């Protein structure tokens, strides 16, 4: 997990408006999913721990932004309003972060994706270490039900099949 660690292209704001990629891809990285509009909000909050001497909570939010899933990482880029410019994490770090996630469909309001992670020195750039954080990304224009299956496939491929270097056709029943 990292905050403001994405190297954005020059004039990335205009690239976002034109629907072009505002950041550079890693070698052999490809886009698997992206949101067509910037109406995704992000909130990341530290979780209370009774043994933690720090009384204050950390709360980071962004009102609008684009979400990208590549075959190597998840990237959120804030458009106009927020405490951060961008947020990302590499899928290979999910075991060390004790990462978990779920889809939430409330009775009222937008569907959202909720994730939980434990910050570590080696995998959490920009977060205090040894704390639990809960994040939510609300999909205000829909798209969550397209996002989740793609995310699950990419997570599985990076965590369980990282040694496989070729893209084979998937078995479908």
CB-CB contact of 120 with 43 (8 Å): no
CA–CA separation, 71 vs 126, rounded Å? 23
CA–CA separation, 69 vs 91, rounded Å? 10
Average pLDDT of 62-78?
94
Residue 171 in any domain: the answer is no
Average pLDDT of 151-166?
77
CA–CA separation, 34 vs 86, rounded Å? 15
pLDDT of residue 102: 94
CATH of the domain at 152: 2.30.29.30
Taken as a whole, the chain contains a residue count of 173
What does pTM read for this prediction? 0.86
Name the strand (E) or helix (H) holding 55.
none
Per-residue confidence at 50, pLDDT binned at 50, 70, 90?
low
Kindly report the average pLDDT of the chain as a whole number: 86
Is 80 exceeded by the pLDDT of residue 153?
Answer: yes
pLDDT of residue 129: 85
DSSP state for residue 92 in the 8-state scheme: G
Q: List the domain range (segments joined by +) for residue 84.
A: 2-160
Count of domains for the chain: 1
Residue 170 in any domain: the answer is no
């Amino acid at each position: 997990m990292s905050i403001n660690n994405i190297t954005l292209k020059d004039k990335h704001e205009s690239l976002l408006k034109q629907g072009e990629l505002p950041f550079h891809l890693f070698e052999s990285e490809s886009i698997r999913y992206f949101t067509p509009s910037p109406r995704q909000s992000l909130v990341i909050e530290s979780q209370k721990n009774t043994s933690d001497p720090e009384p204050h909570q950390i709360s980071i939010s962004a009102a609008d932004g684009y979400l990208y899933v590549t075959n190597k990482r998840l990237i959120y880029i804030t458009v106009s309003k927020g405490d951060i410019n961008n947020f990302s994490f590499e899928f290979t770090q999910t075991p060390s972060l004790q990462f978990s996630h779920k889809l939430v469909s409330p009775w009222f309001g937008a569907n959202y994706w909720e994730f939980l992670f434990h910050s570590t020195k080696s995998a959490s750039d920009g977060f205090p270490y040894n704390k639990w954080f809960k994040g939510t990304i609300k999909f205000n224009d829909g798209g969550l039900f397209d996002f989740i299956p793609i995310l699950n496939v990419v997570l599985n491929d990076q965590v369980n099949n990282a040694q496989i270097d070729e893209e084979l056709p998937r078995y479908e029943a």
